[in-house]
């Protein structure tokens, strides 16, 4: 007895994905090329990253400003409005002075990595009797070290750190799409 597969089943989706394996590989190659270009032009990639973040902040700020007028009755209108104005202003600053914005974002990245790594170390030691706790601690140590390296080179490294992160991300995504596409082909 065969069980009919429902429309939209996992098997059907997998068949469709297998039929398009080449597109996965092509996208992977495109992302690898973009990552290589970003790696060769770290300053440009950093500025592009800042422009993306600035655009998102500007759009979010405008959204918060509009939202503040829709919640006037809540009593926090001024705070919502102020939050939106500050967010939008930060987005504008990112466009007007991308190097300053990259310095601020790089500093925040270093602080975030330090805090995240310290938290992972703490959680790892807290989970010490359980298996795998050492990997959590090791990951936390690597994250703290990365944060320290970025913080030690700040503000000079803010000219290239964000671009390097973008390049690494694009390269890893490219290899991932190529691997998925080739796996789908088999």
Cα 10 to Cα 103: distance, rounded to the nearest angstrom:
46
Q: What is the pLDDT of residues 160-180, one digit of tens each?
A: 999 999 999 999 999 999 999
What Rg do the C-alpha atoms of the chain give, in angstroms? 22
Nearest to 180 by CA among 25, 29, 13: 25
Nearest to 173 by CA among 184, 181, 185: 181
Nearest to 61 by CA among 73, 50, 72, 53: 53
Say if residue 50's pLDDT is above 70.
Answer: yes
What is the domain partition of the chain in residue ranges? 22-185
Cα 116 to Cα 103: distance, rounded to the nearest angstrom:
20
Q: What is the mean pLDDT of residues 71-92?
A: 88
**Residue % of the chain over a pLDDT of 90:** 76
């Amino acid at each position: 007895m065969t069980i009919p597969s429902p429309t939209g089943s996992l098997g059907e989706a997998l068949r469709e994905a297998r039929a398009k394996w080449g597109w996965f590989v092509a996208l992977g190659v495109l992302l690898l090329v973009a990552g290589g270009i970003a790696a060769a032009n770290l300053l440009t990639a950093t500025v592009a990253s800042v422009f993306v973040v600035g655009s998102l902040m500007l759009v979010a700020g405008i959204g918060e400003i509009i939202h503040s007028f829709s919640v006037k009755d809540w009593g926090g209108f001024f705070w919502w409005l102020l939050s939106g104005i500050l967010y939008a202003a930060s987005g504008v600053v990112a466009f007007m002075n991308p190097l300053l914005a990259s310095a601020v974002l790089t500093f925040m990245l270093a602080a975030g990595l330090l805090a995240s790594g310290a938290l992972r170390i703490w959680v790892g030691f807290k989970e010490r009797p359980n298996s795998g706790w050492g990997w959590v601690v090791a990951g936390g140590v690597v994250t703290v070290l990365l944060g320290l390296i970025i913080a030690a080179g700040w503000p000079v490294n803010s000219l290239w750190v964000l671009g390097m992160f973008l390049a690494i991300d694009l390269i890893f995504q490219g290899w991932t799409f190529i691997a998925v596409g080739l796996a789908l082909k088999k």
